[in-house]
Amino acid sequence: MSALATEQADFVNALNTELDSFLDRQRDLVSGISEDVAPLLDSIATLVSGGKRMRALLAYWGFRAAGGEAGSSAAVQAGVALELFQGAALIHDDIIDRSATRRGRPSVHQAFADRHAVERWQLDPVRFGDAAGILTGDMCLSFSEEAFSAVGTPTAFGTTARTIFNRMRAEVMAGQYLDILEEVAGPQRTVTGAAARARTVLRFKSAKYSTEHPLALGAAIAGAPELLLDELARFSLPLGEAFQLRDDVLGVFGDPDTTGKPAGDDLREGKRTLLVAFLRELGTQEQVALLESRLGQDSITDDDVASIREALLESGALAAVESEITALGTASHAALEELPIPELAREALRQLGESAVKRQA
C-alpha cells in the first residue's frame, strides 16, 4: 500500500470507530428513556455505516492541505459531523422524494413503514414511517452539530470553521427548497431561465455542500488563511458541480444494480435538473410535451422513462451535460495543480476528484 493509501485507510478506520462510538453513546443515553427508542439510533447507524465517505475525506485532505497533522482527532471528529449531516440530509431527502431505497437498502422512513406493517400496528404505515423518519432525521441533524462542536476550540463560536458549517447547513436547505420549488413551479417559469435555475439548485443543494464546504471546513480547522480557502474553492466548486451533474446523469441513466436506486428515479421524482432544462431548450416540441406531461407524475411508466431517455440522447441534452462535466473536471483539475499544498494532499484530492466525476453509483 502507498503512503497515501495507508494514511487514508487509517483515517477511514478512525472515522468509522469514532462514528460507532458516538452513536453507541447516544444509544445508551436514549435507551435510558425507553428501549423503544433504540430503532432510531439503529437506523442512523445502519445508514451512516454505508457511503463513500467523500465529504469526510475531503475534510481530512483539506485539513492536511492546510498543514494539519496526519491522524489528528480533530479531523476525525469533523468527518463524523459531516457524515452525520449527510445522513440527516439523506433521511429527510428520501421522505421528500418518496425514495423507498437508499444505498441498496430500504430508506429510513420506508424501514419504519415496513416495521409498522410487519408488527400489524394500527393506523397508517406510510404516515408512521414518514413521522419516524422526520424525527430520526432531526436527531441525526442534532447529532451532527454535537459532533461538530466536539472538535473543540477550532470550531468554537466565531471561528471560520463554524461560519462555514452554518453556511453549509443553510445553503443545503435553501438549495433543497429551490429544487422542490422548481419541480412544482418550473413548468410555469421561463424555459430560457430553466438552466440558470437548475445551476443554482445544483450549486447550493449539492456542489458546495458535497465538496467546497467539507474541504474548506477541514482546512479552516487546520487554521488555513482566507486566501487558501479561496484557492481551494477554485478546485472544489467545479468538482462539486461536475459531481452533481454526474449524479443527475446517473439519476436518469444509471444502472439500478449499481446505484441502489430504481431506474430513471429522478424522472419519477420530477427533478428539474440541468438535463431537463437542456431538453426543454433543445428538444422538439413533441419531446418537450412528452417530458412536461410525464415528469414527476405518479403514473409515469417504464416506457415513459425510456422515451424521455431517448429524447435526452437525441436532443443533445445528455451530450451537453457530459461536455459540461468534462469542462468542469478540467477546470477543477487545472486549479488543483496550481494549489500551494503538499504533494500528498494534492494526489489524494486528485484521486477523490476522479472518483467523484467518473463514478457509476
How far CA 133 is from CA of 102, 171, 173, 313, in Å, comes to 13, 22, 17, 37
| Residue 170 interacts with a copy of itself (CB under 8 A): yes or no | yes
| Residue 95 interacts with a copy of itself (CB under 8 A): yes or no | yes
How far CA 8 is from CA of 61, 209, 339, in Å, comes to 9, 21, 20
Half-sphere exposure of 210 (CA within 13 A, CB side): 27
Burial degree of 122 (CB within 10 A; 0-12, 13-18, 19+) = exposed
Residue placing its CB nearer to a copy of itself in the complex, 44 or 349 = 44
Q: Kindly state the smallest distance separating residue 273's Cβ from a copy of itself, in Å.
A: 16
| Residue 123 interacts with a copy of itself (CB under 8 A): yes or no | yes
Distance CA 98, CA 107 (A): 9
| Residue 36 interacts with a copy of itself (CB under 8 A): yes or no | yes
Q: Kindly state the smallest distance separating residue 194's Cβ from a copy of itself, in Å.
A: 14
| Residue 139 interacts with a copy of itself (CB under 8 A): yes or no | yes
Distance CA 194, CA 186 (A): 7
Question: In this chain, which of 42, 146, 314, 347 binds a copy of itself, going by CB under 8 A?
Answer: 146
Residue placing its CB nearer to a copy of itself in the complex, 42 or 322 = 42
Half-sphere exposure of 80 (CA within 13 A, CB side): 27
Q: What is the DSSP string of 143-203?
A: HHHHHHHTT-GGGSTTSHHHHHHHHHHHHHHHHHHHHHHHHHHGGGS-STTHHHHHHHHII
| Residue 204 interacts with a copy of itself (CB under 8 A): yes or no | yes
| Residue 193 interacts with a copy of itself (CB under 8 A): yes or no | no
Distance CA 17, CA 56 (A): 13
Question: In this chain, which of 50, 51, 67, 187 binds a copy of itself, going by CB under 8 A?
Answer: 187
Site for a copy of itself in 219-258 (CB under 8 A): none
| Residue 171 interacts with a copy of itself (CB under 8 A): yes or no | yes
- End-to-end alpha carbon distance in the chain: 25
Site for a copy of itself in 310-329 (CB under 8 A): none
- Greatest CA separation for the chain: 62
Phi, psi (rounded to 5 degrees) for 75: -65, -40
Question: In this chain, which of 5, 184, 313, 327 binds a copy of itself, going by CB under 8 A?
Answer: 184
Q: Which three three-digit cell numbers place residue 255?
A: 444502472
| Residue 42 interacts with a copy of itself (CB under 8 A): yes or no | no
Residue placing its CB nearer to a copy of itself in the complex, 186 or 283 = 186
Question: In this chain, which of 186, 238, 251, 283 binds a copy of itself, going by CB under 8 A?
Answer: 186
Residue placing its CB nearer to a copy of itself in the complex, 64 or 92 = 92
| Residue 195 interacts with a copy of itself (CB under 8 A): yes or no | no
Buried b (16+ CB within 10 A) or exposed e, 334-354: ebbeebebeebbbebbeebbe
Site for a copy of itself in 43-72 (CB under 8 A): none
Q: Which residues bind a copy of itself (CB under 8 A)?
A: 26, 29-30, 33-34, 36-37, 40, 88, 92, 95-96, 98, 116, 119-123, 127-128, 130-132, 134-139, 141-143, 145-146, 149-152, 155-158, 162, 166-167, 169-171, 173-178, 180-181, 183-188, 200, 204, 270, 296-297
